[in-house]
Structures are given as structure tokens and as C-alpha cells.
Amino acid sequence: AQKITQTQPGMFVQEKEAVTLDCTYDTSDQSYGLFWYKQPSSGEMIFLIYQGSYDEQNATEGRYSLNFQKARKSANLVISASQLGDSAMYFCAMREGDRLSFGNEKLTFGTGTRLTIIP
């Protein structure tokens, strides 16, 4: 079974609108973390936001927020007031606990969503 599922291969959004990128995950661990990364056409991986499984509040970083619904195992990324520079691939990733090495953060990635912002 897929550990991270991103069901939207591509999305087109009008500039200045908000956009939600979907991510669902599968784990039996109680302690885990969820990440979103942005990959522009230049290829680098840019960290956007992190949510820990025990965090009670949804994470926010500027225009990015993570809509964490633990019971539904979803961790959707919300981008408010989209900009042309937001056009990129977006990856959801999960870190599960490593009982042998606390602090180790092996990531499992989804297949990504290509977001295109239309002027």
C-alpha cells in the first residue's frame, strides 16, 4: 500500500486564488511527521512546512498552512493568495519513527502534484 498518496497529478489555479493540495498517508506509528516540499523547474527541493503527529495546532509558515486531520490521515497543503512563482511540483512526505536512532528522519515521498498558476 502507498504510504503517501497525492491524488492530483496536476492543478491549474488563477493567480491570487487559494489552492489546496491533497495528501493522505498511511502509518501505524503513533509518532510521525509530515512535510511539504516544493520543486521548481530548476530542480532543487525547497522545504515548506512541517507538522508533527502530536502537534495540536495546524502548522503555518507565511502563505503556507497545513490542514492536518489526524483521524482521516490527511495533511493537505493550503497556499493562500497564490503567485506566479508558486508554479512548481509539490511533494508531500512522511517521516516515521526510527527506534534504532532517535533523530533519524528517513522520508517517504508521494508522487507529487504539478501546480500551475495562471495569470
Partner 1 sequence: NAGVTQTPKFRVLKTGQSMTLLCAQDMNHEYMYWYRQDPGMGLRLIHYSVGEGTTAKGEVPDGYNVSRLKKQNFLLGLESAAPSQTSVYFCASHSGALHEQYFGPGTRLTVT
Closest distance between partner 1 and the C-beta of residue 24, in Å?
Answer: 14
**Distance of closest approach, residue 75 Cβ to partner 1, in angstroms:** 14
d(CA 58, CA 69): 9
Cα 76 to Cα 69, 103, 119, distances in angstroms: 9, 24, 24
With respect to partner 1, which residue has the nearer C-beta, 42 or 119? 42
Q: What is the smallest separation between the CB atom of 85 and partner 1, expressed in angstroms? A: 19
Phi, psi at 48, each rounded to 5°: -110, -50
Q: Return the number of the residue (4 or 75) whose C-beta is nearest partner 1.
A: 4
